[in-house]
Amino acid sequence: MKFGFVGLGQMGAPMAINLAHEHDVLVYDQNTSAVANVEQSGAKGAEEPNQFADVDVLITCLPAAKIVDSALFGSKAGLVQHLKAGALVVDTSTIEYGATLEMRNRLQAAELRFLDAPVSGMQKRAEDGSLTMMVGGDANDLAEVQGALSTMASKILHMGDVGAGQLTKLINQLLFDINAAALAEILPLSVKLGIDPEQVAEVVNSGTGRSYASEFFVPNILQGDFSNGYPMQAAYKDLISGAEISARHNIPTPVLAAATATYQQALLEGHGDKDKGGMILVFERLLGTDFRATTLKEDKL
């Protein structure tokens, strides 16, 4: 079985590398240095879309629905026009539910099969192949490629029909966003009231306030480091999707709405290039505090 892989960014590159360790993989990205890096693991770089004509499975890992759409259906370089009938497209990107359904319809019209398979776990887990993958689509299609997907994800869950993978990923992301916004609001409050940040961090990450968000972000916040996660400006699409679903289905989401307001304030203040831990900068400014390690504060004096 021959694989194509398009999108060699923060998540895609390590995923493609892990796949190439065990399978025949043809890769493409606009960033030629990213292609060269993955080629070192045994993958072959593609220069023209027609080189994908003989792949059995095309995997995409791209940052937005419009970019996935362009890669697949673009009039000049779209890969769909080159794929053989019956090929399977597996989209591991995190995109909107509606865009996923539209993609399925267009791929079906082109006699192609489709799985939506977004992943969770951030870059470190992409590197060690321990991602969680949530899959929507035909169970037989998943069974055909599950062995190959397991080189990238240690947990692969079939969630239902096409789109179910994206909906499940969205649920997970919204909970993560809410956790990150809560940390941003409450941690500066502790400093304002005179409590030591490092001790607060120790209590939170060993107590009932602990979450994956706190374990990942709090140590970095203490060091003033907001560069270890996905940039807020790129991840904002999840909150848009959450608001859209809330509006369309008349489902009240007050806690999500409050977290979204914090997220939006951080974007308005120019922190979109920072990871979600950067939301704390909004409340640090408001309260005139810094949730930082003592040694870091001393270095600034």
What CATH number is associated with residue 288? 1.10.1040.10
What's the structural domain count of the chain? Answer: 2
The reply to whether 172 and 107 lie within a common domain is no
For residues 193, 194, 197 and 200, what is the CA-based torsion angle, rounded to 10 degrees? -70
C-alpha 197, offset from chain centre: 29
Its pTM stands at 0.87
Q: Is 276 a catalytic residue?
A: no
pLDDT in tens, the chain (301 residues): 999 999 999 999 999 999 999 999 999 999 999 999 999 999 999 999 999 999 999 999 999 999 999 999 998 889 999 999 999 999 999 998 889 999 999 999 999 999 999 999 888 999 999 999 999 999 999 999 999 999 999 999 999 999 999 999 999 999 999 999 999 999 999 999 999 999 999 999 999 999 999 999 999 999 999 998 889 998 898 999 999 999 999 999 999 999 999 999 999 999 999 999 999 999 999 999 999 998 776 666 5
The reply to whether 132 and 228 lie within a common domain is no
The reply to whether 151 and 82 lie within a common domain is yes
Question: Which structural domain range is residue 282 located in?
Answer: 168-300
Q: Which residue out of 2, 44, 66, 169 is catalytically annotated?
A: 169
Inter-residue contact 183 to 214 (CB < 8 Å):
yes
45, β-bridge pairs:
27
Q: What is the CATH number of the domain that holds 130?
A: 3.40.50.720
The reply to whether 152 and 209 lie within a common domain is no
Cα→Cα distances 92→114, 155, 181, 202, Å:
11, 14, 26, 35
The reply to whether 260 and 234 lie within a common domain is yes
Supply 225's token pair: 């480091």
The reply to whether 145 and 190 lie within a common domain is no
The reply to whether 212 and 123 lie within a common domain is no
